Structure 1
């Protein structure tokens, strides 16, 4: 049976497991539009909080706290690693190890000027999205984390296509295409999209 709240509109959206769906906090939400709206309020607040002072985005505890701040008023599991398997991302038991490896890699790239700052931030975004640490909200979390990293590296926030990715189908398609290309070791489409 179809669930208007959790059914994915495209194959890139992460479907929720039934037990995760039951962890929805606002009881009045009945469809994806309402869910997107209330999630966006939390994301906007988390954005203000995250940029209010210097943060160490390459800290696992901070990344968990960032996700919690983004979704704490919507999902009971906000800020906790997923425990269920997905059609995308690493196996749930590998999340912590793969995330620590990513954070170490990014620190190395920064310390050794391995890549230009935009590329470091977008490689971070792509790998964080690939790991897919949370039940949902991974792309939005990874974009905010990449924005925090590029600012910490002295750059400007990314434009991410210049519009809202939830409502704009064409922007979302371009973003997903860029992420998928990055998964296949071609960062150019994501670099282009992030600064368009």
Structure 2
């Protein structure tokens, strides 16, 4: 199967072993793959909303959510990456970095270190930086942030009203600009973006 994956700004390239894990062999373009993944993700959204009294800040939930999002698309769904990428920590440190992030975030929540939106935005940015999986990290980390907000009895983010933020458009560009500012410690743009609708 030959699929044309023309990566755009902010996307992580897949290596040949990861590409070999594609389950639907009839897909030939990035657009077809995005559509297929989105159908898979819609089922995961329903699953995530049904979860009650789940520990969002756990490796188990993190893996399970990714698996539910991509289990009909990638054979490695829910499995941490096994190679370094153009973003993220060393792949051998993913579990350690996640544990630290979950512990830090739990402390922020328990101690009211930041307002709920800022906790979720910081959590999201850190999780993007860790980049636990070979593919789907942006979509996964946004769903993780929304699950964290729900666990704090808050409304999920609107994410700029940009839908999936997969296609190269103004919403995706604004999102990446906000993330890059947060990488430098300025969360202002990200906090505005996550609650904006256009």
- The verdict on a shared fold, with TM-score over 0.5 as the criterion, is yes
CA–CA separation in structure 1 for the residues paired with 2:169 and 2:141: 19
Contact 1:121 1:150 in 2 (8 A): yes
Residue in 1 that maps onto 2:58: 59
- Structure 1 unaligned blocks of 5 or more: none
Structure 1 residue 4: Cα displacement: 5.3
- Structure 2 unaligned blocks of 5 or more: none
Structure 1 residue 53: Cα displacement: 2.8
CA–CA separation in structure 2 for the residues paired with 1:102 and 1:60: 10
Backbone CA RMSD of aligned residues: 1.1
CA–CA separation in structure 2 for the residues paired with 1:15 and 1:182: 23
Contact 2:162 2:172 in 1 (8 A): no
Q: 1:169 to 1:4 in 2, by over 3 A?
A: farther
CA–CA separation in structure 2 for the residues paired with 1:189 and 1:139: 17
How many residue pairs get matched? Answer: 193
Look up the SS of the partner of 2:171 in the other structure.
helix
Matched, 1:50 2:48: yes
The structure 1 segments of at least 4 consecutive aligned residues displaced by more than 6 Å after TM superposition are none
Q: 1:143 to 1:78 in 2, by over 3 A?
A: same
Look up the SS of the partner of 2:175 in the other structure.
helix
Structure 1 residue 178: Cα displacement: 1.2
Give runs of aligned pairs for residues 122-137 of structure 1, distance below 5 A.
122-137=121-136
Contact 1:64 1:79 in 2 (8 A): yes
TM-score by length of 2: 0.94
Look up the SS of the partner of 2:88 in the other structure.
coil
Structure 1 residue 168: Cα displacement: 5.6
Give runs of aligned pairs for residues 99-178 of structure 1, distance below 5 A.
99-164=98-163, 165-167=165-167, 169-178=169-178
Structure 1 residue 21: Cα displacement: 0.6
Matched, 1:188 2:179: no
Contact 1:6 1:21 in 2 (8 A): no
Q: 1:4 to 1:27 in 2, by over 3 A?
A: closer
CA–CA separation in structure 2 for the residues paired with 1:146 and 1:33: 25
TM-score by length of 1: 0.95
CA–CA separation in structure 2 for the residues paired with 1:64 and 1:46: 12
Contact 2:3 2:27 in 1 (8 A): no
Instruction: Identify the match of residue 34 of structure 1 among 32, 35, 59.
Output: 32
CA–CA separation in structure 2 for the residues paired with 1:21 and 1:75: 8
